A and B are shown apart, each in its own frame.
Chain A
Amino acid sequence: MAIITYRQAIKDALAEEITRDESVFMMGEEVAQYNGAYKVTEGLWERFGDKRLVDAPISEAGFIGLGIGAAMMGLRPVIEMMFFSFVYVAWDQAVNNASSIRYMSGGLINIPLVIRGPANGGTNVGATHSHTPENMVANFPGLKVVAPCTAADAKGLMKAAIRDNDPVFVMESTILYGEESEVPDDPDFIIPLGKADIKRAGTDLTIVGHGRSVLVALKAAKELKDKHGIDAEVVDLRSIRPLDEATILKSVKKTNRVLVVDENKPYCGVGAQISHLVQRKAFDYLDGPVHRLSAVDAPAIYSPPLEKIQLPSDRDIIREVELMFNINA
């Protein structure tokens, strides 16, 4: 076990998979010679050369389309979005083609493609650079979506995504790149897609989240315990799709109360999906309605103080839980 950053964990995953499997290559804007806009691929071009680290022009439709073609021919491309918000210019390739080819070829052609990059708000980069499209992507049958929040999860999920035979979107966070945690050294350490993780065990309330929200929820859970004696269980989805329904439901049946937190926009967001699941499959176990916290329903706000308010904070979570438990604080 080594303590490394989330950024390093992703880099290690990429390097290990490039070493392990000669069909794996990395492509994107400035991923090779410039070492990546967020330095996730730092040093990889020097180690692996032009064939494995490919600098692409500013043309997402072009190089994601190229990635799909390469995947159809048996390679395993990993495509970096400098910001995930840029995927929209390649929506036809990334979503329409990637999700449909296996189905339309009658299962004959797989697309072992990974599209990865930061998909988060909260860094004062403006509305067009701050999207969190995990719910949109997850809406397409044929696509898989993961959103790790720790270094270990980032590494394990990245490796699972590269080894998976279907298109997997790995939604990272620029805010988390510097977060450190313990990561197993095993070169075959993977975290299977579709496995949620109980990041904190508790008895009184289940907080379901993914991505950075999980860390915010953990912080809130600590204070809820200290301040109100409320023992929250924090369930980290890790995979948005496939979704680990069993872990969510098991937790809900234990705690009887649910708060869903994510940085997704509220309308048709991931939290809405979880909320439906819980009321449909654990209705008789609920001791109150399912509560939800998500980003304020507006384009990402540019003003830094307002942008802070837009995303759910630990204060917001505590306030919402107080509401759920009818505590007048």
Chain B
Amino acid sequence: MAEIIEMPKLSDTMTMGTLVNWLVKEGDSVSAGTMLAEVETDKATMEVENFEDGVVLKLYAKEGDSVAIGEPICAIGEKGESAPDVGGGKSADTPPAKAEKKEEAKKDDDAKAKDAPKSEEKEAGKAGGEKPAKTDAKDEIPVEEKKTDDSSKEDGDERIRISPLARKMAEEKSLDISAIKGTGPGGRIVKDDVLAAEKAPKPAPAKESAPAAPLSAADLLEEKTLPVTNMRAAIARALVSSKTEAPHFYLQTEVDGAPIAELRKALNDRLADLPPEQGGVKFTVNDLILKAAAEAVRRVPAINRSWKGDTIVQHGSVHLAFGVAVDDGLLTPVIRDAQSKSLRTIGSEAKELIKKARGKKLKPDEMSNSTLTVTNLGMFGITDFYGIINPPNAAILSVGATVKTPVVDDKGQITVGYRMKVGLSGDHRVIDGAVGAQYLAALREILETPALMLV
């Protein structure tokens, strides 16, 4: 009797899975433990394990199909047995997704094909072009330059009059200044002319001697419709429900970023160059912030709560999630029991989790059941922001860039300071502003006196 294998539920929030890749084909013999397919869920790409012995009779789902949980993906039975008919409704729904996928794959190939000769050209150009330039440059190039210089002096009217600002703006907007009409004194091109030229429709580059029109910024834009990936759909669902159900409040504190930067430098100066077996390790600012965030929970445990409808749970461990940007989405892997882990452990776990997240290899239990989340956009130069709470947490921390800025010190003098802004979005059902404020104060104290993490 043939067994129908259905799309399994691979994560707690999964509703659909995309069959990325079949690992078996029709007619293959399989046994318990054989991996049948790779499925992209809302969070990760995972393998579907087989528990039957037999032969793959039929693959109902095609690569690229988006299949709901419980829908058949393949049938396994005795050799020669015919596969049960499961009705074609499902696959009729899915072709668009598949077509999209293929198109993308094709584009990828095209892109690769285009890329290859380009880089070759570049290298060839480098290798061939440099030599003559080096040997002849001294004699020939200045002579040529002089010639053009002189000729431009002779018919000085050819020079385009343009203000320094307008020239800079035209360069930034990739506008051809010879095509801009100047309205300033003496026909000088001024700022307003550049702005007008930018707005005006581009004239057709019909003139005889204009083979290579300069690439304008507009050419790089292209309209397209993108499919909503499972990950995006999961982000959308989770955050819409968080923002609509959890009344957010926002707090921010400014932290002296110098102590933590000094600590990191001191640690990395000693440890970064050592081989791993001798304890070599390189810490990121984020590692230190994660450690500090966990330590601050020990001091203000009320932040570590979840809303359960008729009860509020205060967790006995800090399961610390942190945001990792991946292609087309965001994942929040979790460091378990972060309050009892050393900086070294937190650092190495974070590194491993980031790697897995980027490879979409995170398992569901590596990104669920967090109790607090840290996000950091400092590396993008963002100074302050507020994250949306990651359910079922009561709060999310938003860490900004450390910025060099004038500060007034205890003596009333203005000095150079390194300031970092840390925001907190709190779920007002669970915690109040005072708890958030106490937590931020504890975190600030730890970040400004990082030795506190030792005790």
A interface residues with partner B (beta carbon < 8 Å): 256, 283-288, 323-324, 326
Closest chain B residue to A285, Cβ basis: B165
Highest count of chain B CB atoms <10 Å: which of A256, A284, A285, A287: A287
A106 and B185 alpha carbons, distance in the complex (Å): 53
Closest chain B residue to A279, Cβ basis: B164
Known: A285-B165, A287-B165. 20 other contacts (CB 8 A): A256-B191, A283-B164, A284-B165, A286-B163, A286-B164, A286-B165, A287-B164, A287-B166, A287-B190, A287-B191, A288-B163, A288-B184, A288-B185, A288-B188, A288-B190, A323-B185, A324-B185, A326-B183, A326-B184, A326-B185
B interface residues with partner A (beta carbon < 8 Å): 163-166, 168, 183-185, 188, 190-191
For the complex formed, measure the closest distance between the CB of B400 and the CB atoms of chain A, giving whole angstroms.
Answer: 25
A72 and B166 alpha carbons, distance in the complex (Å): 54
B residues within 8 A CB of A288? 163, 184-185, 188, 190
A residues within 8 A CB of B183? 326
A residues within 8 A CB of B164? 283-287
A285 and B167 alpha carbons, distance in the complex (Å): 10
For the complex formed, measure the closest distance between the CB of A250 and the CB atoms of chain B, giving whole angstroms.
Answer: 15
A residues within 8 A CB of B184? 287-288, 326
B residues within 8 A CB of A256? 163, 165, 191
For the complex formed, measure the closest distance between the CB of B418 and the CB atoms of chain A, giving whole angstroms.
Answer: 22
List 29 A-B residue pairs with CB atoms under 8 Å apart, sorted by A's residue number. Answer: A256-B163, A256-B165, A256-B191, A283-B164, A284-B164, A284-B165, A284-B168, A285-B164, A285-B165, A286-B163, A286-B164, A286-B165, A287-B163, A287-B164, A287-B165, A287-B166, A287-B184, A287-B190, A287-B191, A288-B163, A288-B184, A288-B185, A288-B188, A288-B190, A323-B185, A324-B185, A326-B183, A326-B184, A326-B185
A288 and B163 alpha carbons, distance in the complex (Å): 5
Closest chain A residue to B185, Cβ basis: A326
The 6 closest A-B pairs by CB, nearest first: A287-B165, A287-B163, A287-B191, A326-B185, A287-B190, A284-B168
For the complex formed, measure the closest distance between the CB of A220 and the CB atoms of chain B, giving whole angstroms.
Answer: 19
For the complex formed, measure the closest distance between the CB of A252 and the CB atoms of chain B, giving whole angstroms.
Answer: 10
For the complex formed, measure the closest distance between the CB of A206 and the CB atoms of chain B, giving whole angstroms.
Answer: 13
Closest chain A residue to B192, Cβ basis: A287
Closest chain A residue to B165, Cβ basis: A287
Highest count of chain A CB atoms <10 Å: which of B168, B184, B188, B190: B190
A residues within 8 A CB of B190? 287-288
For the complex formed, measure the closest distance between the CB of B160 and the CB atoms of chain A, giving whole angstroms.
Answer: 15
A284 and B172 alpha carbons, distance in the complex (Å): 12
A286 and B169 alpha carbons, distance in the complex (Å): 11
A288 and B166 alpha carbons, distance in the complex (Å): 9
For the complex formed, measure the closest distance between the CB of B413 and the CB atoms of chain A, giving whole angstroms.
Answer: 16
A326 and B184 alpha carbons, distance in the complex (Å): 6
B residues within 8 A CB of A323? 185
For the complex formed, measure the closest distance between the CB of A137 and the CB atoms of chain B, giving whole angstroms.
Answer: 29
B residues within 8 A CB of A283? 164
Highest count of chain A CB atoms <10 Å: which of B165, B188, B191: B165
A17 and B405 alpha carbons, distance in the complex (Å): 37
A residues within 8 A CB of B188? 288
B residues within 8 A CB of A284? 164-165, 168
A43 and B438 alpha carbons, distance in the complex (Å): 62
Closest chain B residue to A324, Cβ basis: B185
A256 and B165 alpha carbons, distance in the complex (Å): 8
For the complex formed, measure the closest distance between the CB of A259 and the CB atoms of chain B, giving whole angstroms.
Answer: 13
A287 and B162 alpha carbons, distance in the complex (Å): 8
A235 and B85 alpha carbons, distance in the complex (Å): 84
Closest chain A residue to B193, Cβ basis: A287
For the complex formed, measure the closest distance between the CB of B177 and the CB atoms of chain A, giving whole angstroms.
Answer: 14
For the complex formed, measure the closest distance between the CB of B165 and the CB atoms of chain A, giving whole angstroms.
Answer: 4
B residues within 8 A CB of A326? 183-185
Closest chain B residue to A288, Cβ basis: B163
A285 and B185 alpha carbons, distance in the complex (Å): 17
A287 and B168 alpha carbons, distance in the complex (Å): 10
Closest chain B residue to A253, Cβ basis: B165
B residues within 8 A CB of A286? 163-165
